[in-house]
Amino acid sequence: MSAGPVTEAAIKTGIPVENPATGETIATVPELGADEIRAMVTQAREAQPAWDAIGFAGRAEVLLSARRWMVANAERVVTTIVAETGRPADETQFAELAYGLSALEFWAKAAPAYLADEEIQSASPFVRGRKLVVRYAPLGVVGVIGPWNYPLNNSFGDCIPALAAGNAVVLKPSEITPLTSLLMAEMLAECGIPEGVFQVATGGGETGAALVDEVDMVMFTGSVATGKKVMARAAETLTPVSLELGGKDPMIVLADADLERAANAAVSYGMNNSGQVCISVERVYVEEPAYDDFLERVTQKVRSLRQGPPGEPGSVDVGAIIFPPQIELIEAHVRDAVERGARIVTGGKPTEGLPGRFFEPTVLADVDHSMRCMIEETFGPTLPVMKVGDPDEAVRLANDGPYGLQASVWTRDTERGEAVARRVEAGVCCVNDAQLNYAALELPMGGWKASGLGSRHGPDGIRKYAKRQSLMITPGYAPPRELHMFPYSAPVTEQVAQTFNALVTSDLFTDAQRQTLSVLCDTLIPSLPPPEGEADPTGFWARAASHLGVPEAIEISLLQSGACSPARRRSSWTACAICSTLWPRTGWCPRRRRRRARRSSKASPIPDLTRSPGSTP
């Protein structure tokens, strides 16, 4: 199970895991190579069919048992995350433990509905009577590659729907924060997941690259640069990918906003996890009349944040910088901004006097789009605040940049806020909120532009881990020969052409009318005796009617008879449909009878599309 084959070689080249808040090495994990990854995927491939075969209920049992395990071991889960991220336990409990618990329950329960067979209704008369179904089948082995910022959410979180869909999963967590994933493997093993179904492959970038080569689908979260590499590598084997690549989330504060709420949100959603959040508030645009007040509120709140190694609950607000090179990147963004005319209102440099890696919570004013901090992902506790003249300017600036993950608009006028939100180029846009949408597992979240491909949560959050199969089931008593089958004949070709003509007259019937028409046909043609033993005579007639080509015949008849002039089509279609359906069988159609005398040259009988090609229509 669990952590994959640990070889002598792997242990010798082990990766030290550091607590970023203290600088201590807290563990060493193996660095797995390509051979070990291949072996893990082979094992996963062997284990997957049985995991699929136990069905949604069997898999839900394991996932819900894992949820109970997580509740019972909550402190261990939180402590492990805190140790490898240097983030306060308060935040870890709220942002990761809570997410893990709800995701285990959500996907266990939602999977059967999201992946249930879908019966499809087609408007095409050519497939009338057929059963059309889309079904979802697991892909096989899914490779999940995660970053270091949320070791539970962004790594194990993506494994949960993949497992619920019936896949085996090999998870490659970031080498910086692998311990939580190993704990999740231990959890699932204790909760009865079959050997090989969930494995954790520890290692660095090369380990991730090797995984891409072996699996049936890759779910990747991380930087744009690595996301592109993953996609290019996956293209070699035509392996599908889903990419979550970070963002530069804009916050638009309109003049009428509740500035106290907006300021609290800017500070919380800009500084939580030290800003190392892909859906962090990364830049703020404030309408001029509210700018000074907003900046003052934000500055006061940021100045009062408590920073340091995680301690007792309620003792620290902002934790460590997890990834060592990140400190230099944040510093470079601040330096670049200052060089281009920005003003550091508070913070602005690595925090001194603390044991680990920290960056001061920072507010920047007088910023503009010539600065890296307004365009590139900073991924740190910085909040650049820019004054704008009106909402149009705010939207234009919000959309100026490569990313499009999330955004937010703040105003007391929610209707106006929604209108502005709809103009922002981002996969998610909140009004008077930010980030919290992530807790709504029913609501898709995924990036536009450089922020990624595909989405998490909602139906696509699990369907991406499945392959679709479309099924078309034609009854066994369908006619031996369809009208379009060989051999071709002139009369049939002519009638098919007429049918096409009728069909391209798309305003003849709306989809709803077509459906009603089908029901009418099914109801009005109960003249065929069902075959012996047919359990569903109504369904039989419905299907049998379709094999008579009745809908096509009706349409052609309507066109040819002129009974439905364009002006009258909508109002008279039902009556005409009934008449036209009955008329060829019963000769009954008062309207046609009246007209026949006048239009005998134009009215032609309904073509019988099921006639043999040799016979005369």
> What is the nearest approach in angstroms of ligand NDP to the Cβ of residue 236?
12
In the complex with ligand NDP, the residue whose CB is nearer, 146 or 166, is: 146
Taking the complex as a whole, the smallest distance from the CB of residue 149 to ligand NDP amounts, in Å, to 4
**DSSP conformation letters of 280-314:** SEEEEEEEHHHHHHHHHHHHHHHHT--BSS--STT
Is there binding between residue 201 and ligand NDP (CB under 6 A)? no
Position among 36, 377, 522, 552 found at the interface with ligand NDP (CB under 6 A) = 377
Asked if 13 touches ligand NDP (CB under 6 A), the answer is no
Sole window of 105-113, 219-227, 330-338, 363-371 interacting with ligand NDP (rule: CB under 6 A): 219-227
CA nearest neighbour of 144 among 237, 40, 60: 40
- Smallest gap from residue 220 Cβ to ligand NDP (A): 7
Q: Closest Cα partner for 171 from 138, 139, 147, 136? A: 147
> What is the phi-psi region of residue 449: left when phi exceeds 0, alpha when psi lies from -120 to 50, beta otherwise?
left
Contact between 174 and ligand NDP by CB under 6 A: the answer reads: yes
Neighbouring C-beta atoms of residue 561, cutoff 10 Å: 23
Task: Find out whether 310 and 316 touch, Cβ atoms under 8 Å.
Answer: yes
Question: Which residue in 129, 151, 208, 461 binds ligand NDP (CB under 6 A)?
Answer: 208
Nearer to ligand NDP, 226 or 560 (CB): 226
Report the residue closest to ligand NDP, judged by CB. 208
Task: Kindly report the backbone phi and psi dihedral angles of residue 134, in degrees, each rounded to the nearest multiple of 5, phi listed first.
Answer: -110, 130
Q: Of these, 88, 129, 138, 146, which contacts ligand NDP (CB under 6 A)? A: 146
Structure token pair of residue 143: 């490779």
Does residue 84 bind ligand NDP (CB under 6 A)?
A: no
> Are the C-beta atoms of residues 63 and 170 closer than 8 Å to each other?
no
Interacting residues of 55 by C-beta distance below 8 A, sequence separation 6+: none
Query: Any idea which residues carry the catalytic annotation?
Result: 244, 278
- Indicate the residue among 229 and 416 with the shorter CB distance to ligand NDP: 229
Q: Of the listed pieces 88-96, 139-147, 498-506, 543-551, which binds ligand NDP according to CB under 6 A?
A: 139-147
Cβ proximity to ligand NDP: between 215 and 263 the closer is: 215
Q: Which stretch binds ligand NDP (CB under 6 A): 146-154, 162-170, 532-540, 550-558?
A: 146-154
Strands 118-120 and 141-145: unpaired
- Taking the C-alpha atoms of residue 305 and residue 233, their distance in angstroms, rounded to an integer, is 43
Residue that the structure tokens 């992946």 belong to: 115
Nearer to ligand NDP, 326 or 411 (CB): 326
| 154 near ligand NDP, rule: CB under 6 A | yes
At closest approach, how far in Å is the CB of 154 from ligand NDP? 5
Q: Is 245 in the site for ligand NDP (CB under 6 A)?
A: yes
The one-letter amino acid at 220: F
- How far CA 348 is from CA of 17, 327, 335, in Å, comes to 28, 11, 8
- Rounded to whole angstroms, the Cα distance separating 320 from 308 reads 7
Nearer to ligand NDP (CB atom), residue 161 or residue 178:
178
Q: Which long-range contacts (CB under 8 A, 24 or more apart) does 536-544 make?
A: 542/129, 542/518, 543/128, 543/129, 543/475, 544/129, 544/477
Residue choice 196, 246, 308, 347 for contact with ligand NDP (CB under 6 A): 246
Cβ partners under 8 Å of residue 419, min gap 6: none
To the nearest whole angstrom, how small is the minimum distance from the Cβ of residue 178 to ligand NDP? 8
Q: Which is nearer to ligand NDP, 254 or 320 (CB)?
A: 320
* Residues 256-295: x where in contact with ligand NDP by CB under 6 A, - otherwise, as a string: ----------------------x-----------------
> In the complex, what is the shortest distance from the CB of residue 549 to ligand NDP, in angstroms, rounded to a whole number?
55
Cβ proximity to ligand NDP, 166 vs 246, nearer residue: 246
Stretch that binds ligand NDP, among 29-37, 182-190, 202-210, 541-549 (CB under 6 A): 202-210
- How many whole angstroms separate alpha carbon 573 and alpha carbon 517? 9
Nearer to ligand NDP (CB atom), residue 104 or residue 245: 245
Q: Which of residues 94-113 bind ligand NDP (CB under 6 A)?
A: none
Q: What are the angstrom distances between the C-alpha of 319 and each of 316, 357, 436?
A: 7, 9, 20
484 token code pair: 């379009």
Distance, first Cα to last Cα, the chain: 70
Figure out which of the listed residues 43, 65, 226, 408 binds ligand NDP, where binding follows CB under 6 A: 226
- 31 lies in the binding site for ligand NDP (CB under 6 A): no
Binding letters toward ligand NDP, positions 326-365, x by CB under 6 A:
x---------------------------------------
Q: Judge contact between 317 and 271, C-beta under 8 A.
A: yes
Q: Among 52, 244, 360, 555, indicate the residue that binds ligand NDP (CB under 6 A).
A: 244
Is 222 a binder of ligand NDP (CB under 6 A)? yes
Cα–Cα distance for residue pair 87/19, rounded to 1 Å? 10
Residue 360 near residue 350 (C-beta atoms within 8 A): yes
**Which residue, 276 or 299, is less far from ligand NDP as judged by CB?**
276
Tokens of 161: 């729907």
Q: Does 402 bind ligand NDP (CB under 6 A)?
A: no
Spatial distance between the Cα atoms of 481 and 570, rounded to a whole number of angstroms: 34
Q: CB nearer to ligand NDP: give 86 or 146.
A: 146
Q: Which of residues 288-327 bind ligand NDP (CB under 6 A)?
A: 323, 326
Smallest gap from Cβ 146 to ligand NDP, in A, equals 6
Q: What backbone phi and psi angles, to 5 degrees, belong to 157?
A: -55, -40
Number of residues that bind ligand NDP (CB under 6 A): 29
Residue 319: exposure state from Cβ atoms within 10 A (0-12, 13-18, ≥19) = buried
212 binding ligand NDP? (CB under 6 A): yes
Q: Is 176 one of the binding residues for ligand NDP (CB under 6 A)?
A: yes
The residues binding ligand NDP (CB under 6 A) are 145-149, 154, 172, 174-176, 204-205, 208-209, 212, 221-223, 226, 229-230, 244-246, 278, 323, 326, 377, 379
